[in-house]
Each structure stands twice: as C-alpha cells, then as structure tokens.
Structure 1
C-alpha cells in the first residue's frame, strides 16, 4: 500500500497565486482612485480661481487638438526616441563599468575619480560644451541624456557588486569555482536588484534631462513644444506636454519594473 502524504509546506503554494493576483488588482484600483482624486482636486482648485492654472477640461481639449493635427504624436515620438537612445546607451555602458569598478580594485581606482567628478556636475551644465563640440543636431541631445543615465546607473551597479555577501563568494571558492564562475553565478545575480534600481533611476534622469536637451536647436519634441508654448503663455499646451512626458515615463518605468520582477523572482519582496 502506498500512502500519499501532503505536507503543510506544499499547501500555500497554489493559494499564493490568487493572493498575488488579487493584491495586484487591489493596488491597480488604488492607483486609479488616486489619479481620479487628483484630477477632481485639480478641477475644484482651478474652478475656484485659486491659482492661474488651466482646468482639466481645457487641457483635454488642447490634447485632442494636438492629437488631431499630429503634433502630439510627432513630439512624443521625437522625445521618446531621444530618451530611449540616450538611456539605452547609458545603461549599456554603466553596467559593465560598474562591474569593473566593483570587481577590480585597480579599475575602481582609475574610474571612480572621473565618475565622482562628473556626478557633481549637472548634465544640464554640459549643454554649452556639447553644442560647441558636437554641433546642434541630434548628437548633443542624446549625449546629454546618455550622461544623465550613465551617471545615475553606474554607481548603483558598483554598489551592488561591493555589497555582495563575502560568505557566498568564499563558499563558491571552497566548492572549486573559478573567478568567471563566481562572477557569473554569484556576483551578477546578487547585484541584479541594485542594477535594476539604477536602471529605474537612470530612466527618470533621462526624462528629466530631455526637456533641457531639446533646448539645443530642436524642431520637435515635448520639451520643445513646452518652450514654444511658454513664449505665448499657452498653459494648456504646457500641461499637455507635461502629462505626455509623465505618461510615457510611467509606461517605461512599469516595463522596467516588470523586467525587474522577472529577473529577481528569487528575491523576497513585500
């Protein structure tokens, strides 16, 4: 006779998925409710004339006009292309440089002074130098965004490497693992949470920099549209561009969060 025994540890496993799903739905409902409350408060404040801001209805009408004539889409695509290019290049360089700084002391000694030096200089202050050395086409715009993304991400990657538990590294050496195996199987997985935080910060820095980057002789883009609207005190257009930047940034951040949850599924989270 064969007995089938189910331990108490196996029971919570099927029930955990519905709880996670219900928790995600509840959080989404809270997010939607928070946005709705914010819009209502915005409408109440502007309808009372407390501040000289456009009403949500005026901003919505302007968004429809810009969407119909294609300005909103062309500006969004231009800004999105600049942000994505600069952000992708920044992350692609920051991650290996951060690993080098964290894994090799000599590399840390060579690279860290430059990283810390440029971190104290706002990327926006590089704009005049970028214009003089790179011209006024797309190159200086992307470079400024790249710099903001790189400087925000490289430190997080470096910190992730140096914070790896030495016990894990020593245990791997005892088991006969070489440096490459330790780096691939221990350092990289343990550093991923830090790296993904750096990626999110770099993404935010990229969007924060794009408006100033589009000061460089741009002919399209959400930042460019805001600057043009400022000349005519066109507040609804400014709000449309602001909201578009926020929505695009939020979507990209959610994509990064989803990637983070997949890559760090082993990590216990609240």
Structure 2
C-alpha cells in the first residue's frame, strides 16, 4: 500500500482572510482595564454612595414615612447622634472592634505562617490542605453551642467564633498568594547562591505580601459578620448587642444607625489595608 505524503499549499493557494469591519472606538469608561480620568473616578465613587441613599430615602417615603418600619436617613442619623452623645455608641463600637482585633488578629497570626508553608512546600500542602479544605465547609455558627458549653458566655467564646470563622479561608488564600510567586524567581535565587531560608524571607514573602494583605482584607469583612452574630447571643456590649436591644423596643432607626456605623468602620479598615498593600507592594 502506497502512502501519499500530504502536499503543502503555497501561500498563494491559502484562503483569503475574512474581511472585518474596523473596530469601533470604545469609550474609556467601557474599555477593559483602561484608566479613566480622575474626575470620572470621583464622580462614580460619589454616585455609588449617593444612589443607595436616594433609594433609601425614596423607600422611606413610599411606606408613608413610618419610622417604625423604614426610617429615613435623617432619622437614622438623628438616632446615631443621640447614641453618640449618650456614649453608648462609642462603648459598643470599641467592644466590637476589640473582639475583631483579638479573634481575627489571632487567626491571622496562625493562618499566615501556615499559608506560607502550604504555598512553599508540597509536603505541607499535602499534609494540611485536605483537613483545612474539609473544615472550611463547616459553618462557624454551628460551633456556637459547643463554644458556649466549653468556654461559657463570656469573651472567650466570641473570640473563638471569630477565630474559627476566618482562619481556614485566610490560610488557603494565603497559600494561593504564595503560589503566585513566579518559580523563575525562586530558581534564579538558588542559582545565585541563596539558601532556603533566604529564599523564603527575601523572595517568597515579599512577592506574596500584597496578595496576603488582599486575603486579610477579604476575611476582615467575614470577621465583622461573625462578630455581630456572636454579639447577638448572650452579650452585654457591642454593636450586635445594640441591634438586639433596639429590636426589642422596636427602635428601627437605631438599628439602621448601628448598621451604618458598622459599614463605616469596615470601610475604614479596608482602606487602611489597601493603603498598606500599595505601600509595601510597590515592587510587584
């Protein structure tokens, strides 16, 4: 049986390229990853806050101005000012912030080293990722009855809930950030004579630091969700406790005021972490 070799076509025999219309010029606001003017950026930022406030105001009017159902922004502001003058708002805000700093701070101290190990060493990944991947699917709120039995109704159980709710996700996200460090940089470091400890301290950790801070930013929001849940149960201070107390007396305006305070504190923490990331990660 004779096998005929395929005949190569010359460039003159190739099919003509399809004709395409000239690409239309896309506005910078709609272009993918295209920078926009500072004025447009600030305008969009202001609108992102103004539009929900207007919708809130319109919604309060549509329910016939019933402050016991949906208070207006002005009524929520007045309730917040009243609580601030009495001092309870500052006391509750500090109690909640202190719990976040303790519970989530402890989770960061444990999860960051574990994530660096998992992202740098295949042995650590094989030993830790299966169990952490399993535990992260367990809802932290399901541990509340056990934490109350083991640690009581005081501060330890609330801090433990924050720790359980954030450590597993922060560990896995830190490991992913470490894996994003180019292998070529590590190989070059070994070629230039660096040792394992030097590669970890001078190549892997600095290269993964912006990603690790982004992971902390994301999980800080989760920590605020868990701390409010923890304060809803058997608490005598905190913003979550203040929400429950206002609900008992049907003080809806105070609930909205506390929610706004939580959003402002969370946004402030996010901005501080973002500024820190931009300053320490300029080389990335």
1:114 maps to which of 131, 140, 144: 131
Contact 2:186 2:199 in 1 (8 A): yes
1:177 maps to which of 190, 194, 198: 194
Map of 2:166 onto structure 1 = 149
Map of 2:142 onto structure 1 = 125
Q: What is the alpha-carbon distance in structure 2 between the residues aligned to residue 119 and residue 82 of structure 1? A: 21
Q: What is the alpha-carbon distance in structure 2 between the residues aligned to residue 136 and residue 206 of structure 1? A: 19
Map of 1:239 onto structure 2 = 256
Map of 1:16 onto structure 2 = none
- TM value normalised by structure 1: 0.85
1:47 maps to which of 61, 80, 88: 61
Q: Which consecutive aligned stretches of 4+ in structure 1 deviate over 4 angstroms post-superposition?
A: none
Map of 2:111 onto structure 1 = 94
- TM value normalised by structure 2: 0.81
**Pairwise CA distance, 1:152:** 2.5
Count residues with an aligned counterpart: 246
**Pairwise CA distance, 1:133:** 0.7
How does 1:1-270 map onto structure 2 within 5 Å?
23=38, 27-28=41-42, 30-49=44-63, 52-267=69-284
Contact 2:214 2:274 in 1 (8 A): no
Contact 2:210 2:278 in 1 (8 A): no
Contact 1:152 1:201 in 2 (8 A): no
Contact 1:152 1:205 in 2 (8 A): no
Q: What is the alpha-carbon distance in structure 2 between the residues aligned to residue 108 and residue 192 of structure 1? A: 19
**Pairwise CA distance, 1:70:** 1.1
Q: What is the alpha-carbon distance in structure 2 between the residues aligned to residue 232 and residue 260 of structure 1? A: 43
Contact 2:115 2:172 in 1 (8 A): yes
SS in structure 2 at match of 1:218:
coil
Structure with greater Cα Rg:
2
Map of 2:13 onto structure 1 = none
Contact 1:131 1:216 in 2 (8 A): no
Q: What is the alpha-carbon distance in structure 1 between the residues aligned to residue 164 and residue 280 of structure 2? A: 25
Q: What is the alpha-carbon distance in structure 1 between the residues aligned to residue 258 and residue 84 of structure 2? A: 12
Which has more helix, going by share of residues? Answer: 1
Consecutive unaligned residues of structure 1, counting only runs of 5 or more, are: 1-19
Q: What is the alpha-carbon distance in structure 2 between the residues aligned to residue 239 and residue 99 of structure 1? A: 40
Q: What is the alpha-carbon distance in structure 2 between the residues aligned to residue 78 and residue 253 of structure 1? A: 19
**Pairwise CA distance, 1:223:** 0.5
**Pairwise CA distance, 1:263:** 1.1
SS in structure 2 at match of 1:233:
coil
Q: What's the Cα RMSD here?
A: 2.0
Contact 2:76 2:254 in 1 (8 A): yes
Superposed CA offset, 1:243-263 (max 9, x none): 111111010111100100011
Q: What is the alpha-carbon distance in structure 1 between the residues aligned to residue 146 and residue 42 of structure 2? A: 44
